[in-house]
Chains A and B, each alone.
Chain A
Amino acid sequence: MNSRIVKQLFKKEMLDVLRDKKTVLMMVIVPLIVYPLILILGMQVMTGVSQEMAKSTYKIAVVGQCKEQYISLFKDVDESTYSVEIVTSDSLEQDLLKGDVDCYLEITEDEATGVENVNIYYLSASSRSNYAVDVAYEIIKDYSRAKTEAMLVDANLDPELVLSPIKLEYVDKSTAEESTGSLLGSMLPFMLVVSILMGTMYPAIDTTSGEKERGTLETVLTLPVTSRELIFSKFLAVSIFGIASALLNILSMCGVMAYMMNMMKTMGANSFDGVDIGKFVGPMLIGTLCVFAFAVFVSALSMCVCAFAKSYKEANNYITPVTLVVMLASFVSFLPNVELTKNMALIPVVNICLLLRDLLVFKFNYLNVLIVLLSNVIYGIMATLVLGRIYNSESVMFGDGQSGIQLFEKRSNMKKGGVPTLGDCGFVVVLMAFIYLYVGSSLQLQLGATGLVLSQLLFVAVPLVIAIYSKKSLIETFKLRIGSVKKLVGGVLLGVGVIVAGLVISVISSYIFAESAGASQEGLMSFVPESFLAGLLVIALTPAICEEMFFRGYVFAALENKLKIVTAILINGALFGVFHMSLAKFVGTAFLGAMLCYIGYKTRSILPGIIIHFMNNAFSCLLLYYPDKMVRLMPVLGDGESSERMVSGAIVIVAGLLCGIIGLMLLSKNSSKILENEKI
């Protein structure tokens, strides 16, 4: 890469973007003016309203028995605390609705016990009425207390002792900084993430699809510039905007906080007393570093998405779902029970939100900070690499736009047949992730095993509906054919080898991530039905069919069609691993997923995948229901005598290896001949 060229291209991008009013507006005006204004104005309006409400005179009416007593009660009230006007009316209900009466009391006395029942009628939708009720409640509470005390004194009891035999007092041991931090912690990450996204969005669109739309991309391509230099300079420019908008946001937020603290102090609130601002500096610096890494990642991500678009409008369409996903993910900082664990620290967006929240209450460990920082850097690099691929692809650059999301086009424009586009596939994967996370997990929580099956069925239903809607060939997309017997046998045999290899991998990774493996086991146990057959259905059969249809069907068809086969297989494996949401299981599941892809690719049929997936899960199922028998059968699984285990382990591995090799041979041998036979 030539630094002179990068510098010049960077200069051009910066000039170009900075002279676009929209970008500058989004980046500068929003953080610096709009949301401080909203916060400060909002606060002032709120305090203004509550002061106004406190000063106001409320119209209260009283009807029913011993009404006089209550009227005098309200009349005797100290004018400086509450101001009440007693009104009379014949049609109270209508007056209340009209607002002529703020609330009214209806009093009935129980003859037998002497208890006075007071019903307060009010409008919860009207804030005036709500305040009036508060006033009435306070007054009646005092009256009730006085009455109780009088009765106690009459009975020769100490009212103080009887009414409050237990003295309850809250003592907040959090330092003032911590409570301020937790207040900030739920709000700040969300606002920060959203505004960084907003800040990078326009430069990202502008430098990628904007350039295509304005026709300057071809001009750049005429220059003696490599695509790496081009991408790097664009990425540099967008990142600078991302970082700058992050910085502006942080500064502006600090300003707003300072202002709010000042205001609260002058108002006499003591919640910020003793807050030592200096204590925030350290966490702020660490946080800022992570936020910068995050901003760089977001820049690359939004550029990736926008690079597929041919116009501003199209890019906006593509980036909207990304914005929604990021916003939803950043809501995590509002969830009190979600903690920043090692697994969480790997999830983009979520990790930065949780880290910021922890930093603000001074609760963090350096390992997690490091994971967050590194994972953001790695995601950034990955996104940049993808971007590089996109810019090297002529079909995207000069493109026919066939990689884009076809789903949002008019249905009549969709071509019949074929397999889903990459864009569609990406969209469905993201959609599925959300459906699975929210709908799936709530189904599982509410319906247990039935929910588990239902949530698995989503994996078939969603891609099927979308494939039918977009008029794809179902046979091609889901590989709905049996294929030759030889290939089927080969695929299944290779699958046996894969399962054994998967076992070895999972044993190794469960050593590395000891705690995580145990946790996921417990999670599974709680859903499992009692009978073995039902368990087999829930754990083995349904996932085998449903997950295969989604991953090796819909997703793999799209990947395989556009990408190199190795890339397609690796991406599919990684996705499969990610969907299982466990760091410990990731390598094992990703391997299984990748190999299932390979088998599907070789056999052109979904069936072997389903069979292998079923066998794999059925094995865990057996282990779950009949641990003793299984251990007797395969001592390697238990923790018995080590020599016995060694032998059994060796047998399993050798058998697996043999199956795998025979399977591979069956799959690769004479494959061209078989293809020809099929055609005939």
Chain B
Amino acid sequence: MENILTANNLIKTFEKHEKKQKKVSFNAVDDISLQVGQGEIVGVLGPNGAGKTTLLRMLGMLMQPTSGSITMTVDGEQLTDVTRIKANIGYLSGNTKLYGRLSTRELLEILGNIYGMDKQAIDERIEAISKVLNLENFIDNRIEKLSTGQTQRASISRCLIHSPKLYIFDEPTLGLDIISSNSIIEFMKQERQQGKTVLYSTHYMEEAEYLCDRVVLIDKGRIVAQGTIDELSQLTGKNKLRDIFNSLIKEVE
């Protein structure tokens, strides 16, 4: 299996002002190296404040690592340029909201143009996406008027417009009801079938167990363990991911 994304020795340092005047710097991500293979779903798990969001933001090129490198391989070509990597990623998180005063169609058209697609390609792509995600009924309504589920679908459509090779989802199902989160989970499975790669973080162990080919456990900015569920259960002697997680995170503490 070919790696689509390779990250080497990523470090992200933040400065924090502590009570006693001195500036304190700490590493939110502390020397993480990671490979994501073509066509797999990789789950990033960890307690709150472990550095999941910072890691995914760096991998999605939203944040610049303090040190370390990220390389993406698309069609045999190695990419290191920020904008070129971004053009091949669909990034979704709880913080990536949509422009409420635009309609979904307007948004998709503008984004398609930014990604450098021509008009015909954009129209065709919107047509196809709206069929898959069932957007037809509300695609021309302003996004602020949509229901939560509709907004979520519109959000996914945003990540799809440029047919990215890799999806990075930061807790995509957080705070969603069963139906909305199911639609996202199903979407990820479908995309895998089409050879797309998904890297995503979650708090829901069952969801990760059901979906992920491989999980990466991180805590305090470092990788605690990674591998398939089977590998991890051999390592810890536990069956359920929840128990594996608990035993590994406790070990570190």
Minimal beta-carbon separation of B53 from chain A (angstroms): 9
Contact B83 A224 (CB under 8 A): yes
Any chain B CB within 8 A of the CB of A629?
A: no
Any chain B CB within 8 A of the CB of A483?
A: no
Q: Within the assembled complex, what's the spacing in Å between the Cα atoms of A224 and B85?
A: 8
Determine which of B14, B89, B97 lies in contact with A214 in the assembled complex, contact meaning CB atoms within 8 Å: B97
Any chain B CB within 8 A of the CB of A325?
A: no
Determine which of B83, B95, B102 lies in contact with A15 in the assembled complex, contact meaning CB atoms within 8 Å: B102
Any chain B CB within 8 A of the CB of A473?
A: yes
Contact A215 B113 (CB under 8 A): no
Any chain A CB within 8 A of the CB of B106?
A: yes
Which A residues, 3 to 36, have Cβ-Cβ distances below 8 Å to chain B?
4-5, 7-9, 11-12, 15-16, 19-20
Any chain A CB within 8 A of the CB of B234?
A: no
Contact B158 A9 (CB under 8 A): no
Contact B19 A394 (CB under 8 A): no
Contact B62 A12 (CB under 8 A): no
Any chain B CB within 8 A of the CB of A216?
A: yes
Which A residues, 573 to 611, have Cβ-Cβ distances below 8 Å to chain B?
none
Q: Within the assembled complex, what's the spacing in Å between the Cα atoms of A214 and B101?
A: 11
Query: Which residues of the other chain, A, contact B113 by a CB distance below 8 angstroms?
Result: 4, 7-8
Q: Within the assembled complex, what's the spacing in Å between the Cα atoms of A430 and B14?
A: 30
Any chain B CB within 8 A of the CB of A138?
A: no
Contact A214 B93 (CB under 8 A): no
Contact B86 A394 (CB under 8 A): no
Instruction: Give the number of residues in B that approach A within 8 Å (Cβ atoms).
Output: 38
Contact A224 B86 (CB under 8 A): yes
Contact A20 B87 (CB under 8 A): no
CB-nearest residue of chain A to B63: A394
Query: Which residues of the other chain, A, contact B106 by a CB distance below 8 angstroms?
Result: 15
Contact A215 B21 (CB under 8 A): no
Query: Which residues of the other chain, A, contact B176 by a CB distance below 8 angstroms?
Result: none
Determine which of B15, B64, B84, B96 lies in contact with A222 in the assembled complex, contact meaning CB atoms within 8 Å: B96
Q: Within the assembled complex, what's the spacing in Å between the Cα atoms of A318 and B83?
A: 33
Contact B114 A218 (CB under 8 A): no
Q: Within the assembled complex, what's the spacing in Å between the Cα atoms of A417 and B22?
A: 9
Any chain A CB within 8 A of the CB of B195?
A: no
Minimal beta-carbon separation of A553 from chain B (angstroms): 16
Any chain B CB within 8 A of the CB of A418?
A: yes
**Residue-wise interface mask of A (393-421) relative to B, using a CB-CB cutoff of 8 A (1 in contact, 0 not):** 01100100010000000000001111100
Contact A226 B83 (CB under 8 A): yes
Any chain A CB within 8 A of the CB of B235?
A: no
Chain B CB count within 10 A is highest, among A12, A19, A216, A225, for: A12
Q: Within the assembled complex, what's the spacing in Å between the Cα atoms of A418 and B21?
A: 4
CB-nearest residue of chain B to A477: B21
Contact A223 B99 (CB under 8 A): no
Contact A415 B116 (CB under 8 A): no
Contact B96 A417 (CB under 8 A): no
Contact B21 A224 (CB under 8 A): no
Minimal beta-carbon separation of A669 from chain B (angstroms): 27
CB-nearest residue of chain A to B14: A395
Q: Within the assembled complex, what's the spacing in Å between the Cα atoms of A295 and B17?
A: 38
Contact A216 B21 (CB under 8 A): no
Contact B96 A8 (CB under 8 A): no
Determine which of A5, A216, A476 lies in contact with B114 in the assembled complex, contact meaning CB atoms within 8 Å: A5
Contact B101 A418 (CB under 8 A): no
Minimal beta-carbon separation of B186 from chain A (angstroms): 22
Contact B116 A402 (CB under 8 A): no
**Residue-wise interface mask of A (93-114) relative to B, using a CB-CB cutoff of 8 A (1 in contact, 0 not):** 0000000000000000000000
Q: Within the assembled complex, what's the spacing in Å between the Cα atoms of A11 and B102?
A: 11
Contact A223 B86 (CB under 8 A): yes
Any chain B CB within 8 A of the CB of A643?
A: no
Query: Which residues of the other chain, B, contact A417 by a CB distance below 8 angstroms?
Result: 19-21
Any chain B CB within 8 A of the CB of A675?
A: no
Q: Within the assembled complex, what's the spacing in Å between the Cα atoms of A222 and B15?
A: 24
Q: Within the assembled complex, what's the spacing in Å between the Cα atoms of A226 and B96?
A: 17
Contact B101 A216 (CB under 8 A): no
Q: Within the assembled complex, what's the spacing in Å between the Cα atoms of A469 and B82?
A: 45
Q: Within the assembled complex, what's the spacing in Å between the Cα atoms of A226 and B116?
A: 14
Minimal beta-carbon separation of B126 from chain A (angstroms): 15
Q: Within the assembled complex, what's the spacing in Å between the Cα atoms of A415 and B17?
A: 9
**Residue-wise interface mask of B (57-72) relative to A, using a CB-CB cutoff of 8 A (1 in contact, 0 not):** 1001011100000000
Which A residues, 472 to 493, have Cβ-Cβ distances below 8 Å to chain B?
473, 476
Q: Within the assembled complex, what's the spacing in Å between the Cα atoms of A218 and B95?
A: 6
**Residue-wise interface mask of A (553-570) relative to B, using a CB-CB cutoff of 8 A (1 in contact, 0 not):** 000000001000000000
Q: Within the assembled complex, what's the spacing in Å between the Cα atoms of A226 and B100?
A: 23
Any chain B CB within 8 A of the CB of A69?
A: no
CB-nearest residue of chain A to B170: A218
CB-nearest residue of chain B to A473: B21
Contact A216 B97 (CB under 8 A): yes
Q: Within the assembled complex, what's the spacing in Å between the Cα atoms of A9 and B113?
A: 10
Contact B97 A12 (CB under 8 A): no
Query: Which residues of the other chain, B, contact A20 by a CB distance below 8 angstroms?
Result: 101
CB-nearest residue of chain B to A9: B114
CB-nearest residue of chain B to A472: B21
Contact A11 B110 (CB under 8 A): yes
Any chain B CB within 8 A of the CB of A219?
A: yes
Minimal beta-carbon separation of A312 from chain B (angstroms): 14
Determine which of A4, A7, A395 lies in contact with B116 in the assembled complex, contact meaning CB atoms within 8 Å: A4
Contact A12 B60 (CB under 8 A): no
Contact A218 B93 (CB under 8 A): yes
Which A residues, 184 to 222, have Cβ-Cβ distances below 8 Å to chain B?
214-216, 218-219, 221-222
Determine which of A216, A223, A225, A473 lies in contact with B98 in the assembled complex, contact meaning CB atoms within 8 Å: A216
Determine which of A5, A11, A394, A561 lies in contact with B64 in the assembled complex, contact meaning CB atoms within 8 Å: A394
Which A residues, 207 to 254, have Cβ-Cβ distances below 8 Å to chain B?
214-216, 218-219, 221-226
Q: Within the assembled complex, what's the spacing in Å between the Cα atoms of A398 and B14?
A: 11
Q: Within the assembled complex, what's the spacing in Å between the Cα atoms of A196 and B19?
A: 43
Known: A7-B113, A476-B21. 20 other contacts (CB 8 A): A4-B116, A8-B110, A8-B113, A15-B106, A16-B99, A214-B97, A216-B97, A218-B62, A218-B97, A222-B62, A224-B82, A224-B84, A224-B115, A225-B83, A394-B63, A395-B14, A398-B63, A415-B17, A416-B19, A417-B19
- Report 10 cross-chain contacts, Cβ distance below 8 Å, ordered by A residue: A7-B113, A8-B114, A9-B114, A16-B101, A215-B95, A223-B86, A224-B84, A395-B15, A476-B21, A561-B23
Binding site for B on A (CB under 8 A): 4-5, 7-9, 11-12, 15-16, 19-20, 214-216, 218-219, 221-226, 394-395, 398, 402, 415-419, 473, 476, 561
Binding site for A on B (CB under 8 A): 14-15, 17, 19-21, 23, 57, 60, 62-64, 82-84, 86-87, 89-91, 93, 95-102, 106, 110-111, 113-116, 142, 158
Ranked nearest first, the 5 interchain pairs of A and B with the lowest CB-CB distance are A215-B97, A417-B21, A222-B91, A19-B101, A224-B83
